[in-house]
Every structure is written in C-alpha cells, then in structure tokens.
Amino acid sequence: MRDKLSRQNLKKEIYSMGKKKLVTLLGGVCLVLVLAALPFVAACASPVEEECVTDADCPEGYICVDGVCVLEEEEVKVLKVAQLQPLSGFGAGYGTMDKIAYTLAVEDINAAGGIKVGDEYYQLEIVEYDTVCDPVIAATLATKAIYDDGVKYIGMLGCGTEGQAILPIVEQENVVLFVLTDDSSYIGTEHPNAFYIFQYSPACAEIQYEYISTEYPDLTRVVGTFPDTSAGQALADVWEEVVTDFGFEIVDTIFIPSDTTEFYPVLTPLLGQDVDIIEQAGFPGETSGKMIVQARELGYEGIFTEFTGGEVETRTISAGGLEALEGFICTGYPILPVTAFGETFSERCEAVQAGTAIWVGYFYDSMWLLKLAIEKAGSIEPAEVMLALEEVTFSGVMGEDVRFAGEEVVGLNRLFASLYVVTRIENGEPVTVYSAMPLWAR
C-alpha cells in the first residue's frame, strides 16, 4: 500500500500515468488487450462535483486535477492494463504502433477522470509483456500476468497462433481477452471470454460485393483466386457464399501455391471466359501485385478485388506504381481516418511515429469500451464486465457507433462492429468509395 501522497506528488502521479511514450511493436496479427485488476495498487482520487482551474477553486482539503476537484490526501488506485504483443524481433514494428494507441487511450481516459467504480476512481496503467511472436512464450507470459500480476483483462496483438495458445488459461481463470488477429475462427459460443477487435472477413466480403453489385451491376462474372492453404480454403468458402448471395456468377475458384511467382498458366485460360472480376483474397501484397501485372500483360481488362484488407503499399511496389492498379478495389479496415475524431487521433499518432496505421484505432476504441463497460457494471469483475461489454457503445476512431455485436453470426456479441471501408484506386490514388457497418450491426 503506497503512502499518502503530498499535493505536489499526487499531481505528478496523476499527470504522469499513461504518458510514457512507448517506442517498439508487431508484424503479424493478434492482439489480446490485458486489463489487470489490482484494486489495492491504484484508482484516481474521488472528485467532488466541482470544476476548477487551480487549487484555489476547490473546497478545503481538495486540489485541482484535470479540471476536477479531488481529495488531496486520498489514496490513488491504479487499474493495470497489460499488453501481450511482440515488442522485439519479427512483428515489433506493428507492436510500436499498437503501443502508441494504448498510450493515447490511457492518457485520455485518465485525463477524463479515470474509471468510476462505485465511489472509487481508477487510473489506468499499462503493463507490457513481449511475446516475440512465439505462442509458447505468450502462454507463459499470460500465466505470469494472471497468477503473479493479478491480471483480469488481457489484450493481445499477435503474429499467428498466440491467441489460441493462451485461451486455456484465459478460460480457466475467467479472464477477458481482447484479440487482434487474422484468425477469428475461435470467436463465438465455445470461447465466450474472447472479444475480436479486428475486421471480420465475411463482413468485408459482404460490404465489398454489396458495393460492386450496386455501383457496377453489369459486372457479374467472377473468379476467385486464393492461397492453396487451409486459410485460403476458408476464405474461398466465405467468398463463394457471399458472391452467390449477391447474385454473381462464379466462373471458377482457383487455389494457387503461396510461393508462385509466374501466374500466366493460371490466368491465360480465363481470358476467353468474359471474366469481369478476379478476387485475390489472402495473398500478400507483393504476390497480388505480380498477378495484376501479368494479367494486364495478357490483356485482361476487368477489375481486381480483395476483401481481406488490401496492402496497397506493397501491391503498388510490385505492380510498378498505382497507375498499374487502376480500378483495384479492396475492403477492410480504413486506410484513412473515417471520423473527425479519427483525424485528430491520426495526427497525434503521427506526432509520435510517422506512418502509424489508422487500424491501431481498434485498440484505442476498445480501451474506451472497457472503461464504459466497467462503469456500467459498477465492478471490475470479468463476469459482470463481459455482460456490460455487449451493451456499451463509443464514438471514436473506427466509427461513430463502435460496439461489440455479431450474435446472429457467431452466437455471441463478440465481434467489433465498426465502419468497414471500400477503397478504389482512381487516377492513381486510393479513394474511399464506400463505408458501412457490417450487415449484422445495422
């Protein structure tokens, strides 16, 4: 238990929380946001209902902190937020961007007074765990976070299977897991502790082909190309169902080995079949770019699409410039900010590290949803907070009404409902041409 803080030290304590600049981060995909509930180690002093500019504006025994009068001598509580993510080695670049988002979220939540639980106010504090993109290390660190550090909430950004690796201990101890990864296969009724905070591939496909069927009604004949892997097969199953539902005619579904660099043998037979659209879901941007170049060389005049995000930068390099990608359509998380709040957030991220991707807003918004859910539940206990997470909404970086939804598709409200964006290359520039909430969140 920390000693009583003096007026000066209390101010310093509160203002410093959440303002540590974090400078490393990941290169794959899976985030588990860890909120550690250590009730005896720290929350913000209880305010009175008085705004202030200086201490002189407050009643006797109170000081002015972030525009609110708080008790000068009251103990400061901290609700620790632990992050499991790669902070070194492969994927550290993504981890750096992730840390920027969490730092800004903690800074903003604390500046707003922290989290109110009953008569107590908690300040947030980040605790870091470096998974090095290793599922074994991730499981070890999750065990440490839960048993040694008292964590009750976990957030993870991972490169592959780290999320699955820590699920057993998460479920055994009823810890809440927020996960950002390409793999959403385990999200649903069998794993209710996991909340998915990334784009959901079936929703991407639905929004993309909703847009195409409306804006280009004459484009009806489609070919799907996918990596020859289990993940590629899963994407193909999603694609076939969606394009059929929207009335497209499937000409062919083709699986291509991941190490392929020559696509002429695959593309040549398609040229005489009046193909309007070639879907490229699941391929790295470099592979996709090469496929586009070779198709154009063969005379293909239709469009290329990708409903799994679209790495425009690497695809552009491989294709020899954005001009070669003219008409290319990709769907997923936004490439550019989609809200006024997101514009400001993006500027703040850029001030810390140039090139920070807007998708880190998933992490920022999730932190706020956690704050709101804890306050709604009036408790930091996971069982109560999980119920509240299905009811709260936030106007943030990724949309005006972000929340957890998706019960009709995965059995529980565990999918992050936010704006999905369709981007098209027009006159050599990426342009947002359509944005919408998933069908299951409208």
Rounded to the nearest 10°, the torsion over CA 329, 334, 337, 342 is 170
In a domain, 326, yes or no: yes
* β pairing state of 62-65 and 68-71: antiparallel
d(CA 29, CA 180): 6
d(CA 439, CA 442): 6
The verdict on 100 and 54 lying in the same domain is yes
Containing structural domain, residue 251:
202-332
The verdict on 195 and 231 lying in the same domain is no
Tell which of 285, 303, 332 closes a domain.
Answer: 332
Q: What are the phi and psi torsion angles at 302 (to 5°)?
A: -80, -170
Tell which of 332, 356, 374 closes a domain.
Answer: 332
d(CA 280, CA 406): 26
Task: For the beta carbon of residue 350, count every other beta carbon within 10 angstroms.
Answer: 12
The verdict on 180 and 98 lying in the same domain is yes
In a domain, 435, yes or no: no
- The answer to whether the CB of 403 falls within 8 A of the CB of 392 is yes
- Residue 96 has what pLDDT? 87
Place of tokens 């002093």: 45
- Residue 106 has what pLDDT? 93
- Residue 37 has what pLDDT? 36
- The answer to whether the CB of 186 falls within 8 A of the CB of 55 is no
In a domain, 35, yes or no: yes
The verdict on 189 and 266 lying in the same domain is no
d(CA 303, CA 423): 13
The verdict on 176 and 208 lying in the same domain is no
Q: What are the phi and psi torsion angles at 381 (to 5°)?
A: -75, 130
Question: In terms of Cα–Cα distance, which of 176, 197, 194, 175 is closest to 186?
Answer: 194
Number of domains the chain is built from: 2
In a domain, 436, yes or no: no
In a domain, 304, yes or no: yes
The verdict on 79 and 167 lying in the same domain is yes
In a domain, 262, yes or no: yes
**Beta-bridge mates of residue 405:** 415
Give 10-residue mean pLDDT values along the chain (442 residues): 34 34 32 37 50 86 78 72 89 89 94 91 90 94 94 89 92 95 89 95 96 96 95 93 97 94 94 94 86 92 87 59 81 86 95 90 96 97 97 95 96 96 88 93 93
Distances from the Cα of 100 to the Cαs of 188, 272, 372, in angstroms?
A: 29, 50, 21
The verdict on 26 and 141 lying in the same domain is yes
The verdict on 225 and 308 lying in the same domain is yes
- Residue 70 has what pLDDT? 76
Place of tokens 């202030």: 52
3-state SS, residue 417: strand
As given in the structure block, the two tokens for residue 359 are: 């998708």
In a domain, 427, yes or no: no
The verdict on 293 and 361 lying in the same domain is no
In a domain, 243, yes or no: yes
The verdict on 315 and 405 lying in the same domain is no
For 304-319, letters b (16+ CB in 10 Å) and e give bbbbbbbbbeebbebb
C-alpha 264 chain-centroid distance: 36
- The answer to whether the CB of 173 falls within 8 A of the CB of 149 is no
Tell which of 302, 332, 362 closes a domain.
Answer: 332
E-assigned strands of 132-291? 151-157, 176-180, 194-196, 221-227, 249-256, 277-279
* β pairing state of 120-130 and 115-117: antiparallel
CATH number of the domain encompassing residue 309: 3.40.50.2300
3-state SS, residue 294: helix
The verdict on 324 and 360 lying in the same domain is no
- The answer to whether the CB of 169 falls within 8 A of the CB of 143 is yes
The verdict on 179 and 64 lying in the same domain is yes
The secondary structure element, H or E, covering residue 245 is helix 230-245
